[in-house]
Amino acid sequence: MTEILLKLSTRPEPYPPEVRERLAVEAKEIMGRYPVARSALLPMLHLVQAEESFVSSTGIEFCAAMLGLTGAEVTAVATFYSMFRRTPTGEYHVGVCTNTLCAVMGGDEILALLERHLGIKHGQTTEDGAVTLEHIECNAACDFAPVVMVNWEFFDNQTPESAQALVDALRAGQPVTPTRGATLCTFKQTARILAGFPDERPGVLDGAAGEATLAGLKVSREENA
């Protein structure tokens, strides 16, 4: 935590003029969606994360200046939400759920295997810059445990073998499609989508949660029929 705070408190180097100008235009578009400018902070943090793959001190200074906030106010938000990265992130952020159910169903084994296979630990990135690995908390897909998320997209019912094949495909540059939704895009592209810009990937709205998610509703209807 001390290292993170030092990174965020370092006097920021400004964005190059052309980058700042482009981001300012996009930030104003985001701000225009809200009646109060400071309400735009969360999507604007995604915007600067799309630029650098993490929320840097430069990104914090930019958001603060655009929204009329202090650096401390922006930093407090950026360090509270786990989706905002505090260190550079690979092309693909691979999160292995190790919360209770996923852990019991094999999440711990998946994480251990990926750490050995990739040669990195939690929070680290492979030398080729392709994969950042983390263990993550519950992502509300317990009925498909164990779950791996890549750039916040779900890969359900994983095994150590399928998870290894997944990261190998990512590092090889092969197109990878999650359990539901469109083919994966990079971490920076994902951050831009989360900032509120259009997601034009084919199939982005495809893929219902499936039978496991609806099982409780089915039982309830049968019992109350």
Residues 72 and 99 in one domain: no
Tell me the one-letter amino acid at 68.
G
97 and 174 share a domain?
A: yes
What is the spatial distance between Cα 163 and Cα 185, in angstroms, rounded to a whole number? Answer: 18
Report the run of H or E that residue 150 belongs to, with start and end: strand 148-150
- Tell me, yes or no, whether 192 lies in a domain: no
In a domain, 194, yes or no: no
Considering the domain boundaries, does residue 195 fall inside one?
Answer: no
% of the chain at pLDDT higher than 90: 77
The mean-pLDDT minimum among 99-103, 144-148, 201-205, 209-213 falls in 209-213
**Candidate from 37-41, 105-109, 179-183, 186-190 with smallest mean pLDDT:** 179-183
Q: Is residue 223 part of a domain?
A: no
Query: At 49, is the pLDDT very low, low, confident or very high (cuts 50, 70, 90)?
Result: very high
- Which amino acid, 137? E
Q: Are 118 and 167 in contact (CB under 8 A)?
A: yes
Tell me, yes or no, whether 68 and 136 share the same domain.
no
Residue 220 lies inside a defined structural domain of this protein:
no
What mean pLDDT, rounded, does the chain reach?
91
Q: Report d(CA 219, CA 158) in Å as an integer.
A: 26
- CATH number reported for the structural domain that contains residue 159 in this entry: 3.40.30.10
Same domain flag for 97 and 175 = yes
Q: Based on the fold, state whether residues 45 and 10 are members of the same structural domain.
A: yes
Residue at which a domain ends, from 48, 78, 108: 78
60 and 116 both lie in a single domain: no
Last residue of a domain, one of 168, 183, 198: 183
| Domain count for the chain | 2
| 165 and 142 within one domain | yes
**DSSP H/E element including 4:** helix 2-9
The CA-CA-CA angle for residues 169, 171, 175, to 5°, reads 45
Whether 157 is covered by a domain: the verdict is yes
Q: Would 202 be classed as within a structural domain? A: no
| Cα–Cα separations (whole angstroms), residue 202 to 176, 183, 221 | 13, 8, 35
Mean pLDDT throughout 57-75? 96
Phi-psi region of 176 (alpha: psi -120 to 50; beta: other; left: phi over 0): beta
pLDDT (0 to 100) of residue 31:
97
**120: containing domain:** 92-183
In eight-state DSSP terms, residue 39 is: G
**Residue 211: inside a domain, yes or no?**
no
- CB-facing half-sphere around the CA of 110: CA atoms within 13 A: 34
Q: Residues 6 or more apart from 105 whose CB is under 8 A from it?
A: 145, 146
Whether 181 and 204 have beta carbons less than 8 Å apart is answered as yes
Same domain (yes/no): 71, 97: no
167 and 114, same domain (yes or no) = yes
